[in-house]
């Protein structure tokens, strides 16, 4: 249905705003197997290499007076460390490496996706669902290992009246299992929506009358997207911390 409309419009939209999210194999071939190297693989690898470059190479020559890359690395480290400590508590700090990895990967994938002609890996649900499911599994396993059956106290709100508790338990159970859904869709949805809006305005730029307005709109949206790229990584990380806090201290 959508593919029929490709380039069919006269004058206006000559490309589809969702075309930028198509997964293509890099080295020819039409079928995509699990091992096929696609543009997603490429941009994920670039994101990982960029994180390594900043955090390992940037801080390899530790100096009293930090170089520019070292101070950026220290800033990112301190930012996430403080967030884990404040939101999830001191005993959650042993999960700091995991949360730091999540934050750095998402922030780099988001920002690399903002480079024109690049591919945004975090705009795909397949990517974010894996990240969110890993967080969900980690949190659930940690909760049961740390608290045993007491972890189920998370669903039994002891401060509520007794008659209400079974109803609340059902609601809490549903909200617990919706977590990975909303956790992943929030990131992918925000990033995808922003990029699609930019492409929609880019389609209007082909019409001479509205093209100045559309170029200004693209610039404004791009500025907003830079903000969104960071905020969504921040939100993903902080929600991981909140879930971790629930797992470590399940009592309400």
Contacts to another protein by CB under 8 A: 1-2, 18, 83, 86-87, 182, 185-186, 189-190, 193, 231, 234-235, 238-239, 242
- Min. distance of Cβ 82 from another protein in angstroms? 10
With respect to another protein, which residue has the nearer C-beta, 57 or 231? Answer: 231
* Residue 136, token pair as written in the block: 């969900």
DSSP secondary structure code for residue 1 in this structure: -
With respect to another protein, which residue has the nearer C-beta, 2 or 63? Answer: 2
Distance CA 98, CA 165 (A): 34
* Residue 200, token pair as written in the block: 């929609």
Q: Is 64 exposed, middle or buried (0-12, 13-18, 19+ CB in 10 A)?
A: exposed
- Min. distance of Cβ 53 from another protein in angstroms? 28
With respect to another protein, which residue has the nearer C-beta, 86 or 91? Answer: 86
- Min. distance of Cβ 48 from another protein in angstroms? 25
| Cβ-based neighbour number of residue 177 at 10 Å | 10
- Min. distance of Cβ 189 from another protein in angstroms? 4
| Cβ-based neighbour number of residue 75 at 10 Å | 11
Task: Classify 38 as helix, strand or coil.
Answer: strand
93 in Cβ contact with 250 (< 8 Å): no
With respect to another protein, which residue has the nearer C-beta, 165 or 186? Answer: 186
Query: Distance between alpha carbon 189 and the CA centroid of its chain, in Å?
Result: 9
- Min. distance of Cβ 115 from another protein in angstroms? 24
With respect to another protein, which residue has the nearer C-beta, 2 or 117? Answer: 2
């Amino acid at each position: 249905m959508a593919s029929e409309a490709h380039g069919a419009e006269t004058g206006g939209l000559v490309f589809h705003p969702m075309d930028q999210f198509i997964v293509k194999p890099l080295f020819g071939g039409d079928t995509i197997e699990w091992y096929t190297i696609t543009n997603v693989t490429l941009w994920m690898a670039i994101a990982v290499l960029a994180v390594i470059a900043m955090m390992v190479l940037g801080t390899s020559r530790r100096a009293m007076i930090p170089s520019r890359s070292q101070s950026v690395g220290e800033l990112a480290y301190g930012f996430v460390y403080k967030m884990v400590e404040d939101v999830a508590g001191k005993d959650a700090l042993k999960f700091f490496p995991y949360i730091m990895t999540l934050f750095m990967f998402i922030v780099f994938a988001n920002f690399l996706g903002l480079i024109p002609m690049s591919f945004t890996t975090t705009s795909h649900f397949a990517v974010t669902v894996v990240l969110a499911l890993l967080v969900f599994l980690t949190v659930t396993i940690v909760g049961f290992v740390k608290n045993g059956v007491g972890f189920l106290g998370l669903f039994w709100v002891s401060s509520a009246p007794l008659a209400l508790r079974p109803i609340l338990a059902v609601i809490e159970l549903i909200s617990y299992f919706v977590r990975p859904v909303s956790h992943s869709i929030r990131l992918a949805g925000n990033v995808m929506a922003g990029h699609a809006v930019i492409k929609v305005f880019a389609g209007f730029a082909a019409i001479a009358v509205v093209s100045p307005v559309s170029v200004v709109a693209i610039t404004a949206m791009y500025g907003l997207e830079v903000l969104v790229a960071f905020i969504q990584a921040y939100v993903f990380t902080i929600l991981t911390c909140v879930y971790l806090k629930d797992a470590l201290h399940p009592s309400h």
